[in-house]
Amino acid sequence: MGLFPPATPSQWRQQAGDRLLQLLTGLTGNLGPQDEIADSLLRSLRGLPLRPLDRRPYEGLLNAGTLTEQRRFVGQQLQRLVRELTGGELPVDAQIDRTLRLLNGLPPRPVGQPPYIGLYPTATPDLLTQAQLQAIAPATPVAQLAQLLPHLNRTLREYQIDTPLRIAHFLAQVAHESDGFRATEEYASGAAYEGRLDLGNTQPGDGRRFKGRGLIQVTGRANYAEAGRALGVDLLTNPTRLGEADLATRSAGWFWSSRRLNAHADRDDVHTITRRINGGYNGLADRQNYLARAQRVLA
């Protein structure tokens, strides 16, 4: 999905800052060209001289740490500095555009084309930004939220969770179910589900094998089979796949849609939504707290 719809420079920069954080926290492996261009952009935004040739990327910009920690710190700095830019087109916008293209593996910007324009030709506005997600779940590590954000935006679009009220209710429920977006797999072993015929657990080991996974904690052989059919993935053979960021998020969207929860969100009915997801009202106060915060952030 695209990131930059026709918009003002300020709106583009908000999206660009969030995207830079996502891309840098998602980098793996050794230092490479992506780190060099990120270092260069951070120096430009800070008004610092170019990196000396005898220094590695990020050296002198931050205290020592692992490469993962350095990338996260630089991503956070770029997010803040880019989002704070004001006014019309600036020379640094071209550098931001160039950095995004390199990090995304895209070709150079066409000559004469303004920064950001056409960067993602099929662009549609993201329904949720990194800053909004951080405000809703402030205690969750930024890198974890950055990993989930693109999958959340895809899921919101795919399952028509596309109004502020629907998004607020969805995020409130999945935030509670996933311990503030920190867990895509149930902390417990799953042994308690062994032999639960109501969950379709008919084979030895099914309890542990099909423990709760995903942002809404899909549980049991029968539910894994149903989710797998809907998502086009064999979850019976590979159940741990449901705990990975993309399917953890999409499975929550599938569950939400299959239980027709948008209609209850439209009525601002947190009690019915909670009962449909939980089977009762466990954690209702926490869900309501997340809901109130999400509604404030998304207003």
Residues 17 and 116 reside in one and the same domain: yes
Tell me the per-residue pLDDT of 19-65, one tens digit each, with 9 for 90 and over. Answer: 888 788 888 889 999 999 999 999 999 999 999 988 999 988 887 67
Residues 67 and 159 reside in one and the same domain: no
Residues 68 and 169 reside in one and the same domain: no
pLDDT score of 177: 96
pLDDT score of 92: 93
Q: Is the pLDDT of residue 123 over 80?
A: no
Q: Is the pLDDT of residue 79 over 90?
A: no
Output 163 or 120, whichever has higher pLDDT.
163
Tell me the per-residue pLDDT of 196-250, one tens digit each, with 9 for 90 and over. Answer: 999 999 999 999 999 999 999 999 999 999 998 888 788 999 999 999 999 999 9
* Final residue of a structural domain among 62, 91, 126: 126
pLDDT band for position 120 (cuts 50, 70, 90): low
Task: State which residues form the domain around 99.
Answer: 9-126
Separation of CA 88 from chain center = 29
Residues 172 and 83 reside in one and the same domain: no
Q: Is the pLDDT of residue 280 over 50?
A: yes
Q: Is 213 helix (H, G, I), strand (E, B) or coil?
A: strand
pLDDT score of 21: 83
Residues 151 and 276 reside in one and the same domain: yes
pLDDT band for position 117 (cuts 50, 70, 90): confident
31 within a domain of the structure (yes/no)? yes
- What is the spatial distance between Cα 161 and Cα 22, in angstroms, rounded to a whole number? 22
Residues 22 and 145 reside in one and the same domain: no
2 within a domain of the structure (yes/no)? no
Number of domains observed in the structure of the chain: 2
* Final residue of a structural domain among 95, 126, 157: 126
169 within a domain of the structure (yes/no)? yes
Q: Where are the alpha helices (DSSP H) in the chain?
A: 9-25, 33-46, 67-83, 91-104, 130-136, 142-158, 164-177, 206-209, 221-231, 245-258, 261-266, 270-278, 284-298
pLDDT score of 3: 40
pLDDT band for position 4 (cuts 50, 70, 90): very low
271 within a domain of the structure (yes/no)? yes
Instruction: Answer whether 140's CB lies under 8 Å from 251's CB.
Output: no
Residues 144 and 73 reside in one and the same domain: no
Residues 114 and 169 reside in one and the same domain: no
157 within a domain of the structure (yes/no)? yes
Q: Is the pLDDT of residue 119 over 70?
A: no
Q: Is the pLDDT of residue 5 over 50?
A: no
Count of CB atoms situated within 10 Å of the CB of 108: 10
Residues 292 and 245 reside in one and the same domain: yes
CA distances from 220 to 61, 181, 205 (A): 49, 21, 11
* Final residue of a structural domain among 126, 152, 174: 126
Residues 212 and 279 reside in one and the same domain: yes
41 within a domain of the structure (yes/no)? yes
Partner residues linked to 256 by β-bridges: none
Q: What is the CATH number of the domain that holds 247?
A: 1.10.530.10
Residues 293 and 245 reside in one and the same domain: yes
Q: Is the pLDDT of residue 168 over 50?
A: yes
pLDDT score of 69: 84
Residues 141 and 285 reside in one and the same domain: yes
pLDDT score of 118: 67
Percent of the chain with pLDDT over 70: 95
pLDDT band for position 76 (cuts 50, 70, 90): confident
DSSP state of 187: S
The pLDDT mean for the chain works out to 90
Tell me the per-residue pLDDT of 127-162, one tens digit each, with 9 for 90 and over. Answer: 999 999 999 999 999 999 999 999 999 899 888 899
The pTM score is: 0.61
DSSP state of 284: H
